[in-house]
Chains A and B, each alone.
Chain A
Amino acid sequence: MKLDLAMQQVQDAECDLFEELTTFAERHAADSDVHHVAKLLASRCGIQLELLLPHADRYGAAGRSIDEPTDQPPDVIERARRLASEMLGKHELAGMLLLEDLRGLYLTAHRAELAWVVLEQAAKAARDVELLASARKGREEAERRWKWIRTKVKEASPQLLVAG
């Protein structure tokens, strides 16, 4: 059994995606639409990892969690960061940066989904009903993320590439 490996891959992928979503949200603070949803999805990566906690022990995998800063950053820093993003965000090229970042994010989100698919398949083969239920939940959340990114790419590209 190498289910611990499959779990680790899910954990790695979720942690990567968390990082990328968080950076993305900050970089695109001026784009309120993607900013808020990206922050929300990042916060849900931790919930994804929690799905594995009840199963990790059984397969000798370490449980993991995401160290989200518990306190809000000081408002002065937040404001400075926001201001920088908003100033850059007024530039016409901010749109191209958005599209480029969405492409990168799409790949990371897909990598995470695939990790869940692998785990789900393994859980099926291992006939571990509880793990299977968790993996299915995790995979559904993982699908929602790339579908959202795809929607945003479809919405953003006409304006950026034709009117930019």
Chain B
Amino acid sequence: MLGYDEQAHRSNDAMSGRTPDRIADIWGARTPFGRGDSWPVRVDELLVDGVREEEVTWVQSACVLCSNGCGLDIAVKDGRMVGVRGRAGDRVNHGRLGPKGLHGWKANNAPDRLTKPLVRRNGSLETSTWDEALDLVVERTRQVLNETGPLGLGFYNSGQLFLEDYYTLAVLVRAGLGTPHLDGNTRLCTATADAALKESFGCDGDPGSIEDFDLCDTLFLVGHNMAETQTVAWMRVLDRLAGPDPPTLIAVDPRRTKVAERAAVHLPIRGGTNLALLNAIQHELIASDRIDHAFVAAHTVGYEQLVENVAEYPPERAADICGVPAESIREAARLIGAAERLVSTCLQGVYQSHQATASAVQVNNIHLLRGMIGKPGCAPFQMNGQPTAQNTRETGANGDIGGLRNWQNEKHVEELAQSWNVDALQIPHAGPPTHVMQIFRYAEMGSVRFLWIIGTNPAVSLPNLERIRSILKRAGLFVVVSDAFLNETGELADVVLPTALWGEKTGTYTNYDRTVHLSEKAVDPPGDARSDLDILLDYARRLDLRDRDGKPLPPWDAPEGAFEAFKELTRGKLCDYSGLSYAKLRGSEGIQWPCTDASPDGTARLYTDHVFNTFPDECEDYGHDLLTGAARERKDYAELDPAGRAFLHPAEYAPPAESTRDEFPFQLVTGRTVYHWHTRTKTGRVGELNDAAPDVWVELTPEDAVELAIGEGDVVRVESPRGAVEGRARLTGGRRGVVFVPFHYGSWQDRTDRGPNERAANELTIAAWDPVSKQPTVKSSAVRVTRIAASGGVPAPAPTTTASEPALTLRRGDCS
């Protein structure tokens, strides 16, 4: 129970009738609370000017602008969205909303929404009808099926669709068409979370509960700028920090983030060296015997090998590799070793960095060594980036196959075949589902000739953009794009299909702590735009996809049917949805899976009995060699005899694919800012968010800037062996030798005289990925920086409220 009746607390802004300002005051007013107390409610609400609360209808939903998944209600007046309000009773946010949650919905009302399908005629995209557009897509699909077979078809989707969209897509592609080439842009954000959970615990699914943040005494954030990526989770932590008995914070991040500023120990390590650091921390835990030996003996395998491996990483060696003092590493290890209730998190600083899975797994190791998992206040969180990323994994719309099943396990594939009523051989499982960079590679070589991109913008978000563009433009590749707006990728498509956004369709989604929310349709989509589920079903019907008995495949025709079918697929699996329904989710505060008849209120924590999902017949994956990605086969796995015990995987540090050198002396780290989401397709269309960070910038330290004769606001050029980006310089308090460039900006809305492709950080990034999770290593490229022009008195268009805050207070006249 939240007990919000007695604690109900509206933010001062809301009480005074003003809109809370989550642009300047990102995290809002503090509502301190002590360890184990209930997080006080604070309702953040925004209604457009002139609209009064009594005029609107509230429709239940949850935010889709980060993986926290805050419960909110959408305000509707005269068939239009006019605002949002955090749901006071929601277990995730207790009423709060961040900047994107509070403002992001305005993109739905943007004047340049796509309202009609577009078809390329004589080289340019022209308005068409749904019949013309979909018939063309179907005709090309048939042609490729006839000439190349299903392996000629590829699908690349998003981390922001709903569970129902994903499951429809997964069944259509895996059972209907029979191609393994289906991935999601979750490959760029949570593929490593997924992989790390499978490697350590045998199965995807974060073991902890968001309430573990209320209970912990120590919080270890690795490569996780929570203050900007999950603002509402950070509000929760800030309120703990402001209350009695606050947790001790340890932060690993090359930038001086808001998280780092609050940390007892901040480790600004050299990019790509997480693994060496985490090995050294384990070295210290073992040296000081902060090990739960009984837990390790009963519930893990691999301890001896781990001890042998981390023995090679005394803090002094890690200090050399990571470029931080050995004493800081010792202090971090001491705090982690002293913790009684430890919560750790990883995000993109691990996942998009070198040796991603190997490093994420070490954080799991730390929890296993300390026996701090599956109990209150103790959890490693392999965080998600996107709001519905968890669902791509569960439904198999990315690199997994559905219901957290194992593609190498014939019995699991047979279960899918039964559920979908198709022959097991129809479901591709000769290898793992193809990851996006490999799908693009096949397209580059000409064997994938049809590519449908749904709700994502690879022409800005994938690494090494010059190459991605050349593939999308390749003659012989037919590109279909489904999106609500014409983005950079749509510009290169043969067919563009207008889609409904969040709030314009009904469905469910699940956040990182397994909380499932229902989001109801609040308004109609504009013009002829349709939901992804509708479009995919229409496509399936036009293709006349059928199951073994001649029934249409997928068999449902509305979101609830997809949800009900998916529930059955998950029955008895770890991600068991069988106890959930739309009716049950309606009005709920969010329910965590597994939710079954036996646990109708959901399940706060996984593995409370410390029996992990590692049995060979049950596990989702047999695991990999973390250095090379060599896949274990069943016999290799069975030999390890895990039998419900978790894996302590050792991993050795290896240098990154691209090192800095004379010609490219800086390390490039790309990342987000709090105000934007992905490639700004939505957030760039919201005035408040756009104005807060309107253009790309380049962060470097004042020390590096002095050597390059660069001042605040000067226009600089960042170059890698692959491309260049131009933007104004911001001098920040990060690590020397590191250059940070936000990855949100593409060519859209670029009103400067830069070259046509000189704004996207991914012009610079290397095409390299983690060998296990296949997540692109976009945080590890080598670049050089040169000054192009003086600032003219204009500072960088970077926020001053976040990690991109100037190292020194900017004063008039500071810009040369």
The interface of chain A, by Cβ under 8 A from chain B, is: 30-33, 36-37, 39-41, 44, 72, 75, 79, 89-92, 94-95, 144-145, 147-148, 150-151, 154-155, 158-160, 162-164
Contacts of A95 in B (CB 8 A): 445, 447
Interface residues of B in 442-464 (CB under 8 A from A): 442, 444-448
B contacts with A, residue count (CB < 8 A): 34
B407 to chain A, nearest CB (A): 12
Partner of A92, one of B428, B446, B657, B769: B446
Measuring CB to CB, which residues of chain B are less than 8 angstroms from any residue of chain A? 148-149, 151-152, 180, 428, 430-432, 437-438, 441-442, 444-448, 625, 627-631, 654, 657, 661, 663, 721, 767-769, 771, 774
Is B149 a contact partner of A158 (Cβ separation < 8 A)? no
A159 to B441 CA separation, bound complex (whole angstroms) = 11
- Are B151 and A147 in contact (CB-based, < 8 A)? no
Q: A92-B447, A159-B151 are in contact. Are A148 and B629 (CB under 8 A)?
A: yes
Please tell me which one of the listed residues B432, B445, B630 contacts residue A148 in the complex, with CB atoms under 8 A apart.
B630
CB distance A147 to B625 under 8 Å? yes
Which of A39, A151, A154 is the one whose CB lies under 8 Å from B629?
Answer: A151
B contact residues around A75 at 8 Å (CB): 663, 721
Contact B657 A147 (CB under 8 A): no
When distances are taken between beta carbons in the complex, the residues of chain A under 8 Å from B448 are: 163
Quick check: B661 and A89 within 8 Å, CB to CB? no
| Number of inter-chain CB pairs below 8 Å | 85
Instruction: Report Cα–Cα, A158/B178, bound state, in Å.
Output: 13
Q: By the criterion CB–CB under 8 Å, are B771 and A92 in contact?
A: no
The reply to whether B631 and A32 form a contact with Cβ atoms under 8 Å apart is: no
| Least CB distance, B401 to chain A, in whole angstroms | 15
In the complex, 11 of the A-B residue pairs with CB atoms within 8 angstroms, ordered by the A residue number, are A32-B437, A32-B768, A37-B771, A90-B446, A144-B627, A148-B630, A158-B431, A160-B447, A162-B149, A163-B447, A163-B448
Tell me the complex Cα distance, A2–B222, Å. Answer: 51
A31 / chain B contacts, CB cutoff of 8 Å: 441
CA distance A32 to B613 in the complex (A): 33
A90-B446, A92-B445, A92-B447 given; 14 more Cβ-contact pairs under 8 Å? A32-B769, A33-B437, A33-B774, A36-B657, A39-B657, A40-B627, A41-B628, A75-B721, A95-B445, A144-B625, A145-B628, A147-B631, A159-B442, A164-B447
B431 touches A32 (CB 8 A): no
Kindly state the separation between the CA atoms of A137 and B606 in the bound complex, as whole angstroms.
Answer: 36
Question: Closest Cβ of chain B: how far from A151's Cβ, in Å?
Answer: 5
Query: How many Å lie between the Cα of A158 and that of B180 in the bound state?
Result: 10
User: Knowing A33-B769, A89-B444, A90-B445 touch, does A40 contact B149 (C-beta < 8 A)?
Assistant: no
Could you tell me the distance in whole angstroms from the C-beta of B444 to the nearest C-beta in chain A?
6
Contact A155 B432 (CB under 8 A): yes
Residues of B within 8 A of A160 (CB): 447
Tell me the nearest residue of chain A to B447, going by C-beta: A163
| A94, B629: Cα distance in complex, Å | 22
Residue of A31, A147, A163 with highest tally of chain B CB at under 10 A? A163
- Top 7 nearest A-B pairs by Cβ distance? A163-B151, A147-B630, A148-B630, A148-B628, A32-B767, A163-B447, A151-B631
Task: Output the least CB separation between B148 and chain A (Å).
Answer: 5
Report yes or no: A158 in contact with B769, Cβ–Cβ below 8 A.
Answer: no
Inter-chain CA distance A41–B771, complex, in Å, is 13
Q: Are B431 and A154 within 8 A (Cβ)?
A: yes
* Residues of A with C-beta under 8 A to B152: 163
Residues of chain A with a CB closer than 8 A to B441's CB: 30-33
Measured CB to CB, the nearest residue on chain B to A149 is B630
Task: Collect the chain B residues with CB atoms within 8 Å of residue A32's CB.
Answer: 437, 441, 767-769
Residue of A nearest to B444 (CB): A90
Bound-state CA distance A61–B512 (Å) is 57
Picked from A144, A155, A159, the residue with its CB within 8 Å of the CB of B628 is: A144
Interchain CB contact under 8 A, A72 and B661: yes
| Most B C-beta atoms less than 10 A away, residue of A92, A147, A150 | A147
Q: List the B side residues contacting A90 at CB < 8 Å.
A: 444-446
Partner of A150, one of B148, B438, B446, B630: B630
User: Which residue of chain A is the closest to B435 with respect to CB atoms?
Assistant: A33
CB within 8 Å for A33 and B628 given contacts A89-B444, A163-B149, A164-B447 = no
B441 to chain A, nearest CB (A): 7
Q: Which residues of the other chain, A, contact B149 by a CB distance below 8 angstroms? A: 162-163
Closest to B776 in A: A32
B428 to A, closest residue via Cβ: A158
| Residue among B430, B625, B628 making CB contact with A158, cutoff 8 Å | B430
Please report the C-alpha to C-alpha distance between residue A144 and residue B428 in the assembled complex, in whole angstroms.
Answer: 27
Please indicate the chain B residues that have their CB under 8 angstroms from the CB of A163 in the complex: 148-149, 151-152, 442, 447-448
Interface contact A37-B628, CB-CB below 8 Å: yes
Contact across chains for A158 and B151 when beta carbons are under 8 A apart? yes
Residues from chain A with a CB closer than 8 A to the CB of B774 are 33
Q: How far is the CA of A79 from the CA of B627 in the complex (A)?
A: 27
The reply to whether A159 and B447 contact each other, CB–CB distance below 8 Å, is yes
Other-chain residue from B630, B663, B721, B768 in contact with A151 (beta carbon distance below 8 A):
B630
Closest chain A residue to B625 by CB distance?
Answer: A144
- Please, which residues of chain A bring their CB within 8 A of the CB of B148? 163
Tell me the nearest residue of chain B to A78, going by C-beta.
B721
Given contacts A36-B657, A41-B628, are A162 and B768 in contact (CB under 8 A)? no
Bound: A24/B291 CA distance, A: 44
